[in-house]
C-alpha cells in the first residue's frame, strides 16, 4: 500500500497544485545544487577521477552536461547516466549541499543530478515539467534508518531520483510502482565511508540508479509493487552556509562569534588555554575525528570545525583542504578543544566556552545555527553562496548569468537549452585564436594540420567538423607552406587548448561535439 500511495501521489502531482512556497523552495534547492556541482568539480579530485574513469570507458552518446568540467565556452558531455553520476559526485564532494536536519539527508543531489541529465537527453522539457518532477520526491524515512549506519542521502536518494525521472517521463502509476521497486533494490551507501571520496560516490550512484530504474520500468521491466515500508512526506529543507557536516554548524557559528568577541576585548586566540564544547550526542558519533589527516576528514571533525572558526573566522571550502588540516596554527587550537555530549542539547545548537591563560572566559550559546529552518540563509546570502562557488569555475560575469538561469528554471521553455549567452561568448572568444594564428604562415599550417590529425585520431566525422575544417582551410590555405606541415605535431601541442574552445573539442573522449552551453 505504501508503494502504491507514493506512486499515485507522484503521478498525479501537477504544477498547478504546487503552492508558491513549494516552488520557491524547489528553485532554491535546484540552483543551490547547481552551484555545488559547478563549484565542486574543478577543485576536488573525486569527480575528475570519476569522469576520466567512466566517460571514455562506459559512455554512450554524449547528450547531457557535466557541470563545472570546463573552464572555456565548451561543455563536456556524457550520456545521461554518466552525467548524473559525475554531477552527483561533484554536487556532494564539498558537503555544501542542502540538508534536512531531522533525517540528515541531502535531497537535491541525487534528484537534480538525475533530472537534469534526463531532461537534456530526452528534451525538450519545459521548466514547469522539470520543477514538478523535482518536487515529486515525497519520501522520508525515520531517523533510525540513519542511526543504523546507512547513508540516508543515497539510500533514499536513489528512490527519490527514480520517482522524479519517472514523473518526467510520464510513467503510469503501475510503472511508477515498478520504478520504486527497482530503485529500492539498488540502494547503496554506509556511513563508514564518511571522510573519503566514496561518500560523494553514493550520491552519484543514487542518481545513476534512479535513471536506470525509471527507464527499465518504462520499457516493461517489473519489480515488487510493494517495495516500501516507510513513512511518506517531504519535510523541511535547509541550505548550508558551511561545507561540512551540518551538526558542526552551531559550533562554527559560536566559534566565529567568540573570535570576533575576543578581538574586541583585545584577547589573542594564541592565548586560549581550553575550548570546551557541549553538543548533541550525535555530533561526536558523526564528527568525532580528533586528528583529521586530510581535508575530507576535516569535514567530519567537530574539533577541526571549532579551530577553523577561531583561527580563520570563517569556514569556506578553502578551509577544508589538506593544507589547512595540517596548518600548525589550526592544529594548536584543535588540540585545545574538548567536546562533551549532552542529551539536553539539540542537533541545531551548541555551547562553546573559551578559557584564556589569564583566566578570562568567553561563552556563546547557539540555539539555531545559521542555515537552519529557524535561522535560514537569506535570498541574498544564498545567491552569494552560488556566485562564490561558480565564479571560481566560470568567472564572475558568467556566474551571474548562470544564477539567473538556474534560479528561474520553472520559466524555461526547454531546460536543456537554459540560456544562449554562452553562444555569444563563444563567438567572441573564437576571434582570439583566429587573430593569433593568421600572424604566422607556419602556425596557420600547423593549425590546419592539427585539425586533420585530430579528426584521424577520433575517427568521428560529422557535419560540424567537416564545415569547421573546410572554413579554416579556405581562410588559411593561401598562407600555408610545405614547411609548416612539418610542424604539425608541435603545432598540435600549442593549439590543443585553442581547438578545445574553438571547435568544442572534448579531449576526454576524443570526440567533437556540438556545444550550446558552457555550464
Q: Look at residues 232, 229, 231, 308 and name the one whose alpha carbon lies nearest to residue 275.
A: 308
Quote the pLDDT of residue 105.
57
The DSSP code sequence of 145-208 is HHHTTB-HHHHTHHHHHHHHHHHHTT--HHHHHHHHHHHHTT---BGGGTTSTHHHHHHHHHHH
Quote the pLDDT of residue 191.
64
What lies within 8 Å, CB to CB, of 9 at 6+ separation is 136, 138, 232
Pairing of strands 77-78, 64-65: antiparallel
How many Å apart are CA 234 and CA 245, to the nearest integer?
Answer: 21
Give yes or no for a contact between 364 and 254, defined as CB atoms under 8 angstroms apart: yes
Per-residue exposure over 312-339, b if at least 16 CB sit within 10 Å of its own CB, e if not: beebbbebbbeebbebeebbebbebbeb
Helix (H) or strand (E) holding 471: helix 463-476
Percent of the chain with pLDDT over 90: 25
Pairing of strands 337-341, 272-279: parallel
The DSSP code sequence of 480-492 is --HHHHTTHHHHH
Q: Which residue has the higher pLDDT, 168 or 483?
A: 168
At residue 1 the predicted structure's pLDDT band, cuts being 50, 70 and 90, is low
How many Å apart are CA 103 and CA 299, to the nearest integer?
Answer: 18
How many Å apart are CA 145 and CA 444, to the nearest integer?
Answer: 63
How many Å apart are CA 358 and CA 272, to the nearest integer?
Answer: 9
Specify which residues 276 forms β-bridges with. Answer: 338, 353
Contacts 24+ apart (CB under 8 A), 448-454: 448/472, 448/473, 448/476, 448/477, 448/480, 449/484, 449/485, 449/488, 449/491, 449/492, 450/488, 450/491, 450/492, 450/495, 450/496, 450/499, 451/499, 451/503, 453/488, 453/492, 454/492, 454/499, 454/505, 454/510
Candidate ranges 64-78, 403-417, 444-458, 465-479; pick with highest mean pLDDT: 403-417
At residue 141 the predicted structure's pLDDT band, cuts being 50, 70 and 90, is very low
Residue 395, pLDDT > 60, answer yes
Quote the pLDDT of residue 209.
87
Cell of 406: 538556474
Instruction: For residue 62, give the 3-state DSSP assignment.
Output: coil
In tens, the pLDDT along 239-284 reads: 889 998 889 999 999 999 999 999 999 999 999 999 999 999 989 9
User: Is the bond preceding residue 124 a cis peptide, omega within 30 degrees?
Assistant: yes
Specify which residues 78 forms β-bridges with. Answer: 64
Prediction pTM value: 0.60
Quote the pLDDT of residue 94.
78
Q: For 358-383, what is the mean pLDDT?
A: 92
Q: For 355-363, what is the mean pLDDT?
A: 97
Plot region of 354 (φ>0 → left; ψ -120 to 50 → alpha; else → beta): beta
For residue 215, the Cα-to-chain-centroid distance in whole angstroms is 23
Give yes or no for a contact between 375 and 311, defined as CB atoms under 8 angstroms apart: no
In tens, the pLDDT along 411-448 reads: 887 877 654 333 333 333 333 344 344 444 444 444 45
Q: Euclidean distance between the first and final Cα of the chain, in Å?
A: 41
The DSSP code sequence of 320-373 is SSHHHHT-HHHHHHHTTEEEEE-TTS-TT-EEEEEEETTS-EEEEEESS-TTSS
**Domains of the chain (ranges, CATH numbers):** 2-14+31-239+379-411 (1.10.4100.10), 246-366 (3.30.1330.120), 421-511 (no CATH)
Q: Look at residues 370, 366, 390, 391 and name the one whose alpha carbon lies nearest to residue 381.
A: 370
Cell of 74: 565548451
Instruction: For residue 26, give the 3-state DSSP assignment.
Output: helix
Specify which residues 339 forms β-bridges with. Answer: 277
Percent of the chain with pLDDT over 70: 68
Q: Look at residues 446, 301, 386, 371 and name the one whose alpha carbon lies nearest to residue 36.
A: 386
Amino acid at each position: 500500500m505504501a508503494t502504491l500511495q507514493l506512486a499515485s501521489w507522484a503521478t498525479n502531482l501537477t504544477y498547478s497544485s504546487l503552492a508558491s512556497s513549494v516552488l520557491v523552495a524547489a528553485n532554491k534547492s535546484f540552483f543551490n545544487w547547481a552551484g555545488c556541482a559547478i563549484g565542486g568539480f574543478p577543485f576536488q579530485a573525486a569527480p575528475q577521477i570519476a569522469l576520466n574513469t567512466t566517460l571514455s570507458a562506459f559512455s554512450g552518446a554524449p547528450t547531457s552536461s557535466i557541470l563545472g568540467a570546463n573552464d572555456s565556452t565548451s561543455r563536456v558531455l556524457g550520456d545521461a547516466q554518466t552525467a548524473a553520476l559525475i554531477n552527483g559526485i561533484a554536487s556532494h564532494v564539498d558537503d555544501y549541499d542542502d540538508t534536512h536536519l531531522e533525517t540528515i539527508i541531502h535531497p537535491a543531489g541525487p534528484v537534480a543530478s538525475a533530472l537534469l541529465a534526463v531532461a537534456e537527453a530526452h528534451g525538450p522539457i519545459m521548466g514547469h515539467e522539470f520543477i514538478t518532477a523535482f518536487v515529486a520526491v515525497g519520501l522520508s524515512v525515520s531517523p533510525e534508518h540513519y542511526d543504523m549506519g546507512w547513508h540516508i542521502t543515497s539510500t533514499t536518494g536513489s528512490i527519490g531520483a527514480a520517482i522524479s525521472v519517472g514523473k518526467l517521463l510520464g510513467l503510469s502509476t503501475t510503472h511508477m510502482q515498478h520504478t520504486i521497486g527497482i530503485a529500492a533494490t539498488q540502494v547503496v551507501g554506509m556511513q563508514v565511508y564518511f571522510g573519503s571520496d566514496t561518500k560523494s560516490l553514493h550520491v552519484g550512484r543514487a542518481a545513476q540508479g534512479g535513471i536506470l530504474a525509471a527507464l527499465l520500468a518504462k520499457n516493461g521491466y517489473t519489480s515488487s509493487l510493494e517495495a516500501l515500508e516507510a513513512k511518506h512526506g517531504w519535510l523541511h529543507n535547509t541550505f548550508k552556509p558551511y561545507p561540512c557536516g551540518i551538526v558542526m554548524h552551531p559550533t562554527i557559528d559560536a566559534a566565529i562569534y567568540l573570535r570576533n568577541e575576543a578581538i574586541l576585548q583585545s584577547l589573542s586566540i594564541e592565548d586560549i588555554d581550553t575550548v570546551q564544547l557541549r553538543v548533541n550526542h550525535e555530533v561526536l558519533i558523526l564528527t568525532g575525528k580528533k586528528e583529521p589527516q586530510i581535508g575530507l576528514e576535516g569535514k567530519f571533525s567537530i574539533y577541526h570545525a571549532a579551530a577553523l572558526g577561531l583561527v580563520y573566522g570563517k569556514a569556506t571550502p578553502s578551509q577544508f583542504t589538506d593544507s589547512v588540516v595540517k596548518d600548525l596554527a589550526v592544529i594548536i587550537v584543535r588540540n585545545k578543544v574538548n567536546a562533551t555530549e549532552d542529551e539536553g542539547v539539540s542537533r541545531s545548537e551548541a555551547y562553546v566556552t573559551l578559557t584564556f591563560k589569564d583566566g578570562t572566559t568567553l561563552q556563546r550559546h547557539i540555539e539555531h545555527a545559521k542555515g537552519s529552518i529557524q535561522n535560514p540563509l537569506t535570498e541574498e546570502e544564498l545567491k552569494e553562496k552560488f556566485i562564490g562557488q561558480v565564479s571560481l569555475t566560470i568567472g564572475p560575469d558568467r556566474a551571474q548569468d548562470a544564477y539567473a538561469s538556474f534560479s528561474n528554471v520553472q520559466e524555461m521553455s526547454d531546460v536543456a537549452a537554459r540560456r544562449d549567452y554562452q553562444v555569444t561568448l563563444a563567438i567572441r572568444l573564437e576571434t582570439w585564436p583566429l587573430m593569433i594564428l593568421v600572424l604566422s604562415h607556419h602556425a596557420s599550417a600547423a593549425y590546419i594540420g592539427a585539425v586533420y590529425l585530430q579528426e584521424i585520431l577520433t575517427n568521428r566525422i560529422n557535419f560540424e567538423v567537416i564545415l569547421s575544417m573546410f572554413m579554416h582551410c579556405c581562410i588559411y590555405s593561401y598562407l600555408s607552406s610545405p614547411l609548416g606541415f612539418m610542424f604539425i605535431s608541435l603545432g598540435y601541442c600549442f593549439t590543443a587548448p585553442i581547438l578545445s574552445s574553438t571547435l568544442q573539442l572534448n579531449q576526454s573522449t576524443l570526440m567533437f561535439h556540438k556545444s550550446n552551453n558552457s555550464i
